[in-house]
Amino acid sequence: MAALARPRDGRVIGGVCAALARRFGTSATTMRVIFVASCLLPGPQFLLYLALWLLLPQEKTASTAW
């Protein structure tokens, strides 16, 4: 499994769904559909998305990796 970090490519808003898709080996589109469908259910899904957006680090690129 890949490390949980927000990618610089393939993201739409914050890259949270793209990061989760890479982590679990699925497509980003599938993860986005799951997220939107889960928003129809009661719960803190949107707050969880915002928290992950703030807490997940950016993916390091070759030019920024030390």
Residue type at 32 in one-letter notation: R
63 vs 19, higher pLDDT: 19
User: Rounded to two decimals, what is the model's pTM?
Assistant: 0.79
Beta-bridged to residue 6, according to DSSP, are 58
Summarised one tens digit per residue, pLDDT across range 11-57 is: 888 899 999 999 999 999 999 999 999 999 999 999 999 999 999 99
User: 44 φ, ψ to 5°?
Assistant: -95, 40
| DSSP code of residue 3 | -
Taking 70 as the threshold, does the pLDDT of residue 64 lie above it? no
Q: How far does CA 60 lie from the centroid of its chain?
A: 15
End-to-end CA distance of the chain: 22
Radius of gyration of the chain from its Cα atoms, rounded to whole angstroms:
12
